[in-house]
Chain A
Amino acid sequence: MYRSEYRRSFDVYLFVLPIIIFCIGLFFLYSASRGMQEIKGINFTARQVTWFFLSVAIAFVVANIDFRRFLDWSYLYYFLIVALLITILFIGGARMGAKRWLSIGGFTLQPSEFAKLALIMTIAHYLGNNRYSSRSIKIFFSALIMTAFVFILIFKEPDLGGALALLPILFAILIASDIPLGYILGSLILGVLSSPLLWYVMKDYQKRRLLVFLNPNMDPLGAGYTIIQSKIAIGSGGIFGKGWMSGTQNQLNFLPERHTDFIFSVVGEEWGFVGCLLVILLFSLLIFRVLQVAGRTNDYKGKLVVVGIAAMLSFQMIVNIAMTAGFMPVVGLPLPLISYGGSSLITTWIAIALVINVDMRRTIF
Chain B
Amino acid sequence: MRLKILKNLIILGTALLIICLWYLQCVENERYKILSQNNRIRIVPLVAPRGNIYDRNMNLLAGSRLAFDCAIIPQEFDSESGQLGALCLLLGEPLEAIRDIINKNTIAPFAPLTLKKDIGKETAIKISEKIVDLPGVIIHTYPARFYPHANACAHVTGYVGKINEDELSVLRDYGYKMRDVVGRGGLELYYDDYLKGESGGRQTEVDSRGRELRSLGIKEPEKGLDIMTTIDIDLQEYASSLLEGLRGSIIVLESETGQILSMVSKPDYDPNIFIYPDNSLQVKRLLDRKDYPFVNRGISGLYPPGSVFKVVTATAALELGKIGDDERLNCNGYYMIGNRRFNCWRKKGHGSQKITEAIRNSCNVFFYQLGLKAGPDALTDFAERYQLNLPTNIDLPYEKSGVVPSGSWKRRFRKEAWYKGDTLNFAIGQGYLSLTPIGILKVYNTIAQNGYLITPIVVKNIGNVDVYNVEKSRINVTSNTFAAIKRGVGMAVEDENGTAHRAYVGGVDVAGKTGTAQTGAASTHAWFAGFAPNDKPRIAIVIFVEHGGKGGSIPCEIASKIFTKLKELEYL
Contact = CB atoms under 8 A, between A and B. Distances in A.
B208 A253 contact: yes
A311 B6 contact: yes
Interface in B16-62: 17-18, 20-22, 24-26, 28-29, 31-33, 35-36, 39-40
B216 to A, nearest CB: 12
A320 to B, nearest CB: 10
A329 interface: no
A238 B26 contact: yes
Interface string B1-16: 1110111001001100
Interface string A108-127: 00000000000000000000
B6 A239 contact: no
A288 B20 CA distance: 22
Contact of B17 (A235, A294, A321): A321
B447 to A, nearest CB: 71
B27 to A, nearest CB: 9
Contacts of B6: 172, 175-176, 291, 307, 310-311
A254 B40 CA distance: 9
Given A231-B32, A235-B31, A236-B32, A287 B10 contact: yes
A248 B14 contact: no
A264 B382 CA distance: 89
A229 B35 CA distance: 9
B188 interface: no
A253 B17 contact: no
Interface string A290-314: 0100110000000000010011001
Contacts of B39: 229, 232, 248-249, 252, 254
B411 interface: no
A272 B20 contact: no
Nearest to A179: B2
A249 B41 CA distance: 11
Interface residues of A, number: 42
Given A252-B213, A294-B3, A235 B25 contact: yes
Given A280-B18, A291-B3, A235 B13 contact: no
Nearest to A283: B14
Interface in A68-101: none
Contacts of B26: 238-239, 273
B208 A276 contact: no
Interface in B120-146: none
B2 A175 contact: yes
Classify chain B: how many residues form its interface, as a range: 20 to 34
Contacts of A252: 39-40, 205-208, 213
B117 to A, nearest CB: 25
Contacts of A272: 25
A239 B29 CA distance: 8
A276 B36 contact: no
Interface in A218-235: 221, 229, 231-235
A273 B7 contact: no
Contacts of A280: 14, 17-18, 21
Contacts of A181: 2
Nearest to A307: B6
A276 B3 contact: no
A322 interface: yes
B251 to A, nearest CB: 57
A236 B36 contact: yes
A9 interface: no
Contacts of A172: 6
Contacts of B336: none
* A interface SS class: helix
B281 interface: no
A212 interface: no
Which has the most chain A C-beta neighbours within 10 Å: B2, B20, B40? B2
B337 interface: no
A314 B13 contact: yes
B108 interface: yes
Contacts of A234: 21, 24-25, 32
A206 to B, nearest CB: 22
Given A273-B26, A325-B21, A175 B36 contact: no
Contacts of B35: 232, 235-236
A325 B20 contact: yes
Contacts of B1: 295
Which has the most chain B C-beta neighbours within 10 Å: A176, A221, A235, A314? A235
A318 interface: yes
B8 to A, nearest CB: 11
Nearest to A287: B10
A201 interface: no
Contact of B21 (A273, A284, A310, A311): A273
Contacts of B28: 235
Interface string A235-251: 11111000000001100
A238 B28 CA distance: 8
Contacts of B22: 273
B36 A318 contact: no
A234 to B, nearest CB: 6
A235 B29 contact: yes
B110 to A, nearest CB: 8
A62 B32 CA distance: 45
Nearest to B35: A232
A268 B1 CA distance: 36
A277 interface: yes
B209 A253 contact: yes
A327 interface: yes
B109 interface: yes
16 contacts: A229-B39, A231-B32, A234-B21, A234-B32, A238-B29, A252-B39, A252-B205, A253-B207, A273-B26, A276-B18, A276-B21, A280-B14, A291-B3, A307-B6, A322-B20, A326-B24
Complex A-B, nearest 7 residue pairs according to Cβ-Cβ distance, in ascending order: A235-B32, A236-B36, A252-B207, A253-B208, A273-B25, A236-B32, A238-B29
Given A238-B33, A284-B10, A326-B24, 11 more contacts: A176-B2, A234-B24, A235-B33, A235-B35, A236-B32, A248-B205, A253-B207, A253-B208, A295-B3, A314-B10, A325-B21
Interface of A: 172, 175-176, 181, 221, 229, 231-239, 248-249, 252-254, 268, 272-273, 276-277, 280, 284, 287-288, 291, 294-295, 307, 310-311, 314, 318, 321-322, 325-327
